[in-house]
Amino acid sequence: MRDVRKSRIALALLAAAIIVLGLLGQQVFNAATEPGPATTEQRVLVAPGSSLRTVLGQLAAHGLLRDPRLFEFYLRCCHRDPATAAPGIQVGIKAGSYRFEPGLPPLAILSQLQQGKVVLEQLTIVEGWSFAQMRAAIATHPDVAQTLNSRSDKDVMAAMGSPQLWPEGRFAPDTYRFAAGTPDEQIYRLAFDAQRHNLDEAWQNRQPDLPLANADQALTLASIVEKETGLASERARVAGVFINRLRKGMRLQSDPTVIYGIRGYDGDIRNRDLTTDNPYNSYTRDGLPPTPIALPGKDAIWATLHPERTDAVYFVAIGDGTGGHYFSSTLEEHNKAVRRYLDRLKRTGDAP
């Protein structure tokens, strides 16, 4: 009888253990597969080198996991990694900034972390900006890792593998998307390579017989075109005017080149600025300036190498708020357009 009683007790304990293990197993499984408790979107920044336990703690702190310990237990004992089919967690978690929707199951969160589906930040480099403005935008972006901020422009170009180049104009204006913590050098590299591609493509497909000796001269003229008009419809015509001037041996007489050569420009261009000689003053110097004066966009580069065929050699702002210009083929016609422009400014109270 005693042996029977012992057997019954053992069976009861075994049954109880099975039930407990089953309940525990179900609880562990639920910790990995049930929707998470978060009711709002959560953003989590995973630092490089973070351990699994650290990341799970972060997720729990953001309300994304109910029980990080149970989920970790599941991952170590029951999870089969889809990338390797091996038990446990084999593929590492990738650093970066993540955005998780509310109610996302822990395994779905893990999948994003393993695949590196980070939130992409963005930085816009505006057409016509100077290189100094580009540097300031990169240096002040909160999600860019600064490695070149304290370095000189020449150091930046050395990092691009082109220390002999002046940086102005060599970086493509565009909106660049990147993961938080991306080094600034990588963003410079993206813009530098993009501009080199833009210039090479346009140069290889340029109109024949342009008065430009090489692609560098084309880039310089494109930067002037970029600064002279903000209207896409005018770029090729403005380029045509400057091409005509170069062919005729006329000076470019472009105000933006003068402004670029003025240190501490205060927003007003004066007559003495037009007559004071410096390497960028296209009123006092023949031909093109020694370097670009801004960052030209892809369209400005293409327009410069595919200029509109026109008889115009002059243009002046209309002054009607559209940003448009009046184009003239004779000095007499141009002077009339200038007087109309000045009269319009007087009527609006904006005359210099």
Distance CA 9, CA 253 (A): 104
- Confirm if 201 and 300 have CB atoms less than 8 A apart: no
pLDDT, residue 349, reads: 61
Residue 71 lies in a domain: yes
pLDDT, residue 92, reads: 79
pLDDT, residue 23, reads: 47
Residue 187 lies in a domain: yes
Same domain, 215 and 312: yes
Provide the token pair at 233: 């419809």
Residue pLDDT, tens place only, 171-200? 999 999 998 889 999 999 999 999 999 999
* Cross-strand bridge partners of residue 25: none
Is residue 6 scored above 90 in pLDDT?
no
Indicate the residue among 167, 199, 231 that finishes a domain: 199
pLDDT, residue 214, reads: 97
If one counts every other C-beta atom within 10 angstroms of the C-beta of residue 22, the result is 10
Confidence at 101, pLDDT banded by 50, 70, 90: very high
Same domain, 242 and 282: yes
pLDDT, residue 234, reads: 96
Q: State the residue for tokens 């896409």.
A: 232
Confidence at 268, pLDDT banded by 50, 70, 90: confident
Is residue 31 scored above 80 in pLDDT?
no
Same domain, 125 and 110: no
DSSP one-letter string for 206-270: PPTT-S-SSHHHHHHHHHHHHHH---GGGHHHHHHHHHHHHHHT-----HHHHHHTSTT--S---
Same domain, 142 and 217: no
* Interacting residues of 245 by C-beta distance below 8 A, sequence separation 6+: 251, 252, 253, 313
Residue 11 lies in a domain: no
Which residue range(s) make up the domain with 32?
A: 26-115
Residue pLDDT, tens place only, 35-90? 989 899 999 999 888 888 999 999 999 999 988 888 888 888 776 665 554 445 55
Residue pLDDT, tens place only, 291-331? 999 999 999 999 999 999 999 999 999 988 888 999 999 99
* Cross-strand bridge partners of residue 327: 315
Least confident of 77-91, 135-149, 150-164, 222-236: 77-91
Residue 332 lies in a domain: yes
Least confident of 29-33, 145-149, 269-273, 319-323: 29-33
Distance CA 313, CA 227 (A): 17
Q: How many domains does the chain have?
A: 3
Confidence at 3, pLDDT banded by 50, 70, 90: low
Confidence at 20, pLDDT banded by 50, 70, 90: very low
Same domain, 96 and 153: no
Same domain, 230 and 343: yes
Same domain, 295 and 218: yes
Least confident of 3-12, 112-121, 266-275: 3-12
Same domain, 322 and 219: yes
Distance CA 87, CA 57 (A): 22
* Helix, strand, coil percentages for the chain (3-state, nearest 5): 45, 10, 40
Distance CA 70, CA 143 (A): 33
pLDDT, residue 34, reads: 87
Same domain, 169 and 259: no
Residue pLDDT, tens place only, 229-264? 999 999 999 999 999 999 999 999 999 999 999 887
Least confident of 93-97, 103-107, 239-243, 256-260: 93-97
Is residue 9 scored above 60 in pLDDT?
no
Spatial CA neighbour of 28 closest among 81, 59, 67: 67
CATH number (domain holding residue 54): 3.30.1490
Indicate the residue among 115, 147, 169 that finishes a domain: 115
Q: State the residue for tokens 């708020």.
A: 321
- Confirm if 257 and 282 have CB atoms less than 8 A apart: yes
pLDDT, residue 85, reads: 46
If one counts every other C-beta atom within 10 angstroms of the C-beta of residue 78, the result is 13
Amino acid letter for position 261: G
Same domain, 222 and 238: yes
Residue 339 lies in a domain: yes
Residue 240 lies in a domain: yes
Indicate the residue among 162, 177, 199 that finishes a domain: 199
Same domain, 232 and 304: yes
Same domain, 103 and 138: no
Residue 7 lies in a domain: no
Mean pLDDT of the chain: 88
Residue 4 lies in a domain: no
